[in-house]
Chains A and B, each alone.
Chain A
Amino acid sequence: MSAPSTSLLRANRHSKAPHPWLVRLAALRAWLFLALLLVTFEVWARASYGVSFVLSSYNAQSIAVFAVAPLLLALGETFVIIAGGIDLSVGFVMGLSAVLAAHATNAADSSLPPLPAMLVGIAAGLAVALVPGAINGWLISKLKVPPFIGTLGMFGVARGTAFLLAKGTTVPVTNDWFAALGNGRLLGIPVVVLVTAVFVLFMHYLLGQSRFGQHTYAVGASEQAALRAGIGVGRLTRRLYLLSALCAGLGGVLYTARFTAGAAQAGEPLLLDSIAAVVIGGASLFGGSGTILGTVAGSLVIAVIQYGLVFIDVEPFWQFVAVGVVIIISVLVDQTQRKLGGER
């Protein structure tokens, strides 16, 4: 082959490729946001009250505990959104799990010692979440229902079922082990935070290092490409919605543990927070991009805004405004990055 024709095939970087540092910066933007917020609250707290916001382990723990539930929902949502879907049912799946975990623990308490009774409750809470998760996956992969509609339907079904099971009220739990899981500490760190941290590591591994994670990205970029590569897209989709529901189930179980009561409305306000966390964390709602560490940062951004505004004594309704503004800025940054990055 002649020399000039081969040189035509050299990848030229002047055209579309952005500087590598720009790409890395964009991936870190949720963490930059977080740092900016912490600095702002720190300055404000010192100027107005003469106290530190950041250097308070009480604040740090409160924010971490505060972030746990929306983060758990957001972890599963990250996978679903990367694959180009959405799961609107997670909030009430969480409520359903919280209520059923409470009922099952109470039922087991009458015949079992406290520790196994708690384990029965946890198993029941996680297992019940798989039902709406399986139905979501079936509707979307087999019946080709759009994810937005299918999971919106399941939002209603899970909501109604959870309130029916709870008979419209909360279901208190008296199991001491359960209370310790929700409010205890290990090495000075709240147990719910430790459980969530372990789960974050697992999800980070699953998304970044497994075939399942790799195929999730591929489906989000092009379902056709995934199909032609021999990936079982239907099965992958069903697993994604099961995973999302399982995350919501874990959120529900930890809710019951923390408040020693299951409530149908446990996750009601968390759906939008969890989707916001995913988007702030750098995922695109069009699918194909996003990371677990980004989602963790996104969840912390929301938790810091909500907690911080209360801390500096701003009226709580400003939280909604602040979170909304951060979401819009995140999407604008994402779009700008796409333009610079030359992605379609």
Chain B
Amino acid sequence: MSAVPSPSSQPLLDVRGVYKRFGGVEALKGVSLELHPGEVVALAGDNGAGKSTLTKMISGVYPADDGEIRLDGQAVRFSTPEAARVAGIETIYQDLALADNLSIGANIFLGREPMRRAFGVLPVLDRRAMAQAAKETMSRLDFHVDRLEAPVGRFSGGQRQAVAIGRAMYWNARVILMDEPTAALGVPEQRKVLTLIRNLKAQGRGVIFISHNLQDIFAVSDRIVVLRRGSLAGERLIAQTTHDEVVKLMIGG
């Protein structure tokens, strides 16, 4: 494996030698991964390589059988995705997990809606605060929408992706896992999502970007971690590798 110089900062997320077994199948055999603030790490590998097992362990869907996960240098063990989210690890799902009939603000605050008191007594949803937060959050993503009350179902795929990312951002997610965020999108929309990822990077967040699309990976990532059959096949700085080399790592040529 070629030496990959680590950025000087302490890693935001430090996954050390994690194992995962499902019955007789070893899904992950001692995989390590570091993610630094402001860094985009692509996670690549063929189907069944262990990408989604690794991300599910990081996001609290299930625990590791062995090894540890450190967040800001502290060992963490999440029993639920909720716990991971509270700690600042947010997953952007392929199907986005948005309520299409609600506004951007209502989606950002879904499950944690701010309330105010009408006439000093009656608790009511603070829609103005939600709309204001939506406007500010989305403008940080260079997403300018003129009708904040419109349900997100009216937006395009890339715009909805931006809403999901905006929600993660608003709640101060520092590690953002994105599972094939460009897979279901057309080319212009894919470009928007890559722009969003660069934006998160500029804000000093760490992004783990899972993709099959090497072009997207090379366009946006700093490093690439390739898994093969549950093990680390290789790790490269994007600036120092090629499509061919990554493909060879993936298929084990």
Contacts and interface: CB of A to CB of B under 8 A. Distances in A.
A11 B142 CA distance: 10
A288 B100 contact: yes
B110 A221 contact: no
From A214, A215, A224, A343, name the one whose CB has the most chain B CB atoms within 10 angstroms.
Answer: A214
Interface string B147-173: 100110111101100100000000000
Interface string B113-142: 101001000111100000000000000011
Contacts of B125: 209-211, 214
Interface in B181-240: 188, 191-192, 195-196, 198-199, 202
A9 B100 contact: no
Interface string A175-190: 0000000000000000
Contact of B142 (A1, A211, A221, A230): A1
A144 interface: no
A209 B124 contact: yes
A343 B195 contact: no
A329 interface: no
Interface stretch (A15-23, A47-55, A247-255): A15-23
B154 A214 contact: no
Nearest to A338: B153
B111 A221 contact: no
Contacts of B155: 11, 16
A119 interface: no
A217 B141 CA distance: 27
B144 A343 contact: no
A314 to B, nearest CB: 39
A220 interface: yes
A228 B102 contact: no
A209 B126 CA distance: 9
Given A218-B99, A222-B97, A11 B145 contact: yes
Contacts, number: 117
A92 B142 CA distance: 55
B122 A15 contact: no
Contact of A231 (B111, B143, B158, B191): B111
Contact of B191 (A5, A210, A230): A5
A251 B163 CA distance: 42
Given A20-B147, A210-B123, A222 B98 contact: yes
A217 B153 CA distance: 13
A217 B102 contact: yes
Please report whether the interface of chain A is mostly helix, strand, loop or mixed according to DSSP: loop
Nearest to A217: B101
Contact of A17 (B82, B95, B147): B147
A205 interface: yes
A321 interface: no
Given A8-B188, A221-B100, A224-B95, A342 B195 contact: no
B115 A211 contact: yes
A205 B119 CA distance: 14
Contacts of A231: 110-111
Given A1-B199, A9-B192, A343 B154 contact: yes
22 contacts: A1-B142, A1-B195, A8-B192, A11-B144, A16-B154, A17-B147, A20-B147, A205-B122, A210-B124, A211-B113, A217-B101, A221-B101, A222-B97, A224-B95, A225-B97, A225-B98, A225-B110, A226-B111, A230-B85, A230-B112, A342-B153, A343-B100
Interface of A: 1, 5-6, 8-13, 15-17, 20, 205, 209-211, 214-215, 217-218, 220-222, 224-226, 228-231, 288-289, 341-344
Given A9-B159, A10-B143, A222-B98, 16 more contacts: A1-B202, A5-B191, A9-B142, A9-B162, A11-B145, A13-B146, A209-B125, A221-B99, A224-B95, A225-B107, A228-B93, A228-B97, A229-B97, A229-B112, A230-B112, A289-B101
A-B interface, 6 closest residue pairs, ranked by CB to CB distance from nearest: A229-B111, A229-B110, A209-B124, A221-B99, A218-B99, A11-B145
